[in-house]
Chains A and B, each alone.
Chain A
Amino acid sequence: GENVEQHPSTLSVQEGDSAVIKCTYSDSASNYFPWYKQELGKRPQLIIDIRSNVGEKKDQRIAVTLNKTAKHFSLHITETQPEDSAVYFCAATLSGSARQLTFGSGTQLTVLP
C-alpha cells in the first residue's frame, strides 16, 4: 500500500519568511496529492491540492510542487503570518478511486511574530 513520509515534524519561522514542508510517497499509481491544515482543536481542512498531470500549482501565498519521477511533493508558504500557525498534513491517493487518503505524520508550523 501507499506510504507517505513528511518532514520536518516541527518548523518555526519568523513572520514574513517562507516555510517549506516536504513529503515523499511510495505508490507510483497515486495521482492526487492534497494538503490539509489543522488548527488546534479543529478539523483538517483542504488548503491546496495537485494532480500528477501538473508540476506546480499556486494559490496566493501557497504553492505546491510535484516531482512525479522522484515521488515527492512540497508545500511552500510565502510571507508567513501568525495565522498560518497550525499542523499541516500531506496526503496521497488515487483520484477517482475509493482509496482512502494516506497521510503524512504532520508538520507543526509556528510563525513567530
Chain B
Amino acid sequence: GAGVSQSPSNKVTEKGKDVELRCDPISGHTALYWYRQSLGQGLEFLIYFQGNSAPDKSGLPSDRFSAERTGGSVSTLTIQRTQQEDSAVYLCASSLLDVNYNEQFFGPGTRLTVL
C-alpha cells in the first residue's frame, strides 16, 4: 500500500506569510506525528494525534504553530506569520498503535524556506 505522503515537497515563502503543510498518513494508522528537522540537526517533536483524543501539543515552539487532523486521517500543520527560523524540513509520521508494535513510518517531508 501507499506510504505516508506530504505536500508540498518544497515551499518558499516570505517572512510574515502563513503556510499550510499537509500530511496523508498510511490508511488505518491511528497515530500521526509532526517533527521538524533543521539543517544538520536531529528530529524535533512538534505534535501528535491519537485517534479522537486531544492532541499532544507540547512540542509546538510557539502559538504561531497549530495543527489539525480531520476525520482521523489527513493532517494540516499551519504556521502563521512565518519567521526565518521556521526554515526547516517538516516531517510527518504515522503508526499503527499496538501493544507490541510501534514503528513510525515517515513521509518524505516538506522543505520550508522562509525568505
Contact = CB atoms under 8 A, between A and B. Distances in A.
Given A43-B108, A89-B43, A103-B42, A98 B103 contact: no
B79 interface: no
Interface stretch (A44-52, A63-71, A73-81): A44-52
A45 B42 contact: no
A93 B103 CA distance: 10
A96 B42 contact: no
A96 B100 contact: yes
B42 A106 contact: yes
Nearest to A34: B103
Interface of B: 31, 33, 35, 41-43, 45, 48, 50, 53, 56, 59, 91, 97-109
A103 B103 contact: no
A14 to B, nearest CB: 24
B48 A98 contact: yes
B102 A96 contact: yes
A98 to B, nearest CB: 4
Given A45-B106, A95-B100, A98-B50, 17 more contacts: A34-B102, A42-B108, A43-B108, A44-B91, A96-B100, A96-B101, A97-B102, A100-B33, A100-B45, A100-B56, A101-B33, A101-B43, A101-B104, A103-B45, A104-B42, A105-B42, A106-B41
21 contacts: A34-B102, A34-B103, A34-B104, A43-B108, A45-B106, A46-B103, A46-B104, A95-B99, A95-B101, A95-B102, A96-B99, A96-B101, A97-B102, A98-B48, A98-B50, A100-B45, A100-B56, A101-B45, A103-B43, A105-B41, A106-B41
